[in-house]
């Protein structure tokens, strides 16, 4: 069938109108292009440094978007400098370093994406990747949460205590016409934890959390990580109560102490069944190694009762397998007599004074070098197994000094060193000789004789190399050949 020229002209007009409408719709679609939406994603987290140190106030972090949960190169990546709080918490806008945010092409495939995070600090590695959920929606989420660019909370009426009281009173009388209001949040105080002041309303509690993370109960100036301050004059409260409701032979109420490596090193507690109060130091040289802890009862920083891994000392921290009692010097009318002198009934003040006078000098350059090097180590800390140059145990100090002063090598053991010396009497001892401390026939300590009944030695953990009077008569003397 042939169309007339008029019909054909009409069809041409309709076709042009259709094309024009298509162009208009296309332009309308382009006007809401995702390019007008800021491509930012708000994320938050907590940073716990791998070295165990606190997170810094400012850290550098690299954030990467991947197409897979592991392996492959990132689709996109950026590095930001962020601010963290005292607990390592942070919030960051992903894409904020670039003017157009995250490129839309990153999510063009519509496939799942994963986020990887790594902090730029020594020892840090990228942690497990986290899947990014509903990213296209997230681009518009900020607009969806606002009304005319303002948050919904701007349009909510804030309830006040008077409204709440009026509503509560009306409800009690059966007045159903009273408007419903939310629970009241009473004015609070910065850094105080909230608590329910009644069955419905929130206010401040007595628990204070300082910016450092320290917690105070009854105080806003905690002196430690937990500080409880109170007043009780009746003896009915002590500040902390611990109760274990178990009733077996292994049911204890108490506390555990851990070292910097997370190892349990001390336990103390009360047994509900046996009524034993136990103090147990379980510190070890290395995990699974020998026990080397101690328990020291002190008054005014002076040891009164010491329990070490090798024995017990009363008034002394140098111990053996049986209790060692420190003998204080006896003060006579003519002066102080060393304890070794008063340990025998026949000793006299005159004899001791003469013996001490004979020890004042030393002969030979090697003795001078021994004393000079030994004195140079005073103040160095005690360390079990230490052999210098800045920390020592007792035999480690003597072997270090003799090696430096004379070139002679002594074994790193007090009992073994005794086997390498010539035995001499106390009267024959001179500065630079060795003094061995004994208990039950066993040598447990060694020091360098300085004269005047004193030694330089490395005492025990927590102490430093120092000069000290010989505190017991259970000693023997030796001279290095």
- Do 312 and 366 belong to one domain? no
Q: Quick one: 449 and 467 in the same domain?
A: yes
Task: Say if residue 272 is in the same domain as residue 317.
Answer: no
CATH classification at residue 104: 2.60.40
299 is a domain residue: yes
The answer on 385 and 256 residing in a single domain is no
Does residue 226 form part of some domain? no
CA distances from 196 to 61, 199, 200 (A): 40, 7, 7
In a domain, 201, yes or no: no
Say whether both 474 and 340 belong to one domain: yes
Q: Residue ranges of the chain with pLDDT lower than 70?
A: 1-38, 134-186, 319-364
Q: Is residue 388 part of a domain?
A: yes
Domain boundary among 150, 165, 196: 150
3-state DSSP of the chain: CCCCHHHHHHHHHHHHHHHHHHHHHHHHHHCCCHHHCCECEEEEEECCCCCCCCCCCEEEEEEEEECCCCCCCCCEEEEEEEECCCCCEEEEEECCCCCCECCHHHHCCCCCEEEEEEECCCCCCCCCCEEECCHHHHHHHHHHCEECCEEHHHHCCCCCHHHHHHHHHHHHCCCCCCCCCCCCECCCCCCEEEEECCCCCEEEEEEEECCCCCEEECCCCCCCCEEECCCCCCCCCCCCCCCCCCCCCCCEEEEEEECCCCCEEEEEEEECCCCCEEEEECCECCCCCCECCCEEEEECCEEEEEEECCEEEECCCCCECCCEECCCCEEECCEEECHHHHCCCCCCHHHHHHHHHHCCCCCCHHHHHHHHHHHHCCCCEECCCCECCCEECHHHHHHHHHHHHHCCCCCCCHHHHHCCEEEECCCCCCCCCEEEEEECCEEEEEEEEEECCEEEECCCCCCECEEEECCCCCEEEEEEC
Question: Cβ–Cβ contacts within 10 Å for residue 29, how many?
Answer: 9
Of 478, 444, 436, which is closest to residue 317 (Cα–Cα)? Answer: 444
Q: Residue 187: inside a domain, yes or no?
A: no
For residue 444, the enclosing domain spans: 334-480
- The domain spanning residue 400 has which CATH number? 3.90.1720.10
Q: Please tell me whether residues 322 and 456 are part of one structural domain.
A: no
Rg (CA), the chain: 40
Q: What are phi and psi of 416, to 5 degrees?
A: -70, -35
| Residues 50 and 118 both lie in one domain | yes
Residue 407 within any structural domain of the chain:
yes
Q: Bridge-partner residues for 455, per DSSP?
A: 449, 468
Q: Which of 133, 150, 167 is the last residue of a domain?
A: 150
Within this chain, do residues 338 and 468 fall inside the same structural domain, yes or no?
Answer: yes
316 and 338, same structural domain? Answer: no
Quote the pLDDT of residue 33: 45
Q: Do 80 and 145 reside in the same domain of the chain?
A: yes
Is residue 393 located within the same domain as residue 259?
no
User: How many domains, the chain?
Assistant: 4
Say whether both 369 and 475 belong to one domain: yes
Give domain status of residue 177, yes or no. Answer: no
pLDDT value of residue 148: 55
75: CB partners within 8 A, 6+ apart? 65, 66, 67, 106, 113
Residue 23 belongs to some domain of the structure: no
Give me the pLDDT at residue 354, please.
Answer: 35
Interatomic CA distance for residues 263 and 270, integer angstroms: 22
């Amino acid at each position: 069938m042939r169309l007339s020229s008029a019909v054909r002209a009409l069809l041409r007009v309709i076709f042009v109108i259709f094309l024009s409408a298509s162009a208009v719709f296309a332009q309308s679609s382009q006007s809401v292009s995702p390019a007008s939406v800021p491509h930012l994603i708000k994320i938050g987290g907590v940073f716990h440094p791998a070295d165990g140190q606190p997170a810094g106030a400012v850290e550098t972090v690299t954030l990467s978007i991947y197409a897979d949960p592991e392996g492959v190169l990132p689709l996109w990546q950026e590095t930001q400098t962020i601010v963290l709080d005292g607990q390592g918490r942070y919030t960051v806008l992903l894409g904020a370093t670039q003017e157009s945010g995250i490129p839309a092409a990153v999510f063009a495939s519509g496939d799942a994406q994963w986020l990887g995070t790594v902090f730029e600090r020594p020892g840090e590695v990228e942690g497990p990747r986290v899947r990014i959920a509903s990213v296209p929606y997230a681009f518009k989420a900020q607009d969806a949460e606002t009304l005319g660019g303002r948050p919904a909370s701007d349009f909510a009426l804030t309830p006040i205590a008077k409204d709440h009281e009026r509503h509560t009173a009306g409800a009690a009388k059966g007045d159903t016409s009273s408007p419903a209001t939310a629970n009241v949040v009473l004015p609070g105080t910065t850094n105080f934890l909230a608590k329910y002041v009644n069955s419905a309303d929130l206010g401040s509690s007595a628990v204070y959390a300082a910016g450092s993370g320290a917690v105070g109960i009854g105080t806003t100036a905690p002196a430690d990580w937990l500080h409880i301050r109170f007043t009780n004059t009746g003896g009915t409260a002590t500040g902390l109560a611990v109760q274990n409701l178990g009733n077996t032979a292994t049911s204890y109420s108490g506390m555990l102490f851990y070292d910097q490596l997370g190892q349990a090193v001390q336990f103390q507690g009360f047994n509900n069944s046996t009524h034993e109060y136990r103090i147990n130091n379980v510190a070890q040289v290395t995990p699974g190694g020998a026990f080397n802890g101690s328990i020291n009862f002190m008054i005014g920083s002076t040891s009164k009762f010491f329990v070490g891994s090798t024995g017990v000392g009363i008034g002394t921290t140098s111990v053996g397998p049986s209790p060692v009692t420190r003998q204080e010097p006896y003060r006579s009318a003519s002066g102080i007599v060393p304890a070794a002198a008063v340990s025998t009934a026949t000793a006299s003040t005159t004899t001791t004074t003469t013996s001490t006078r004979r020890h004042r000098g030393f002969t030979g350059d090697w003795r001078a070098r021994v004393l000079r090097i030994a004195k140079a180590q005073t103040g160095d800390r005690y360390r079990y197994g230490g052999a210098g140059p800045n920390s020592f145990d007792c035999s480690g100090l003597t072997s270090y000094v003799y090696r430096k002063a004379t070139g002679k090598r002594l074994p790193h053991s007090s009992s073994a060193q005794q086997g390498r010396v010539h035995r001499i009497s106390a009267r024959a001892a001179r500065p630079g000789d060795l003094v061995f401390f004994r208990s039950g026939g066993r040598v447990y300590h060694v020091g360098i004789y300085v004269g005047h009944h004193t030694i330089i030695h490395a005492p025990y953990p927590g102490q430093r190399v120092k000069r000290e009077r010989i505190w017991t008569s259970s000693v023997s003397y030796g001279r290095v050949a």
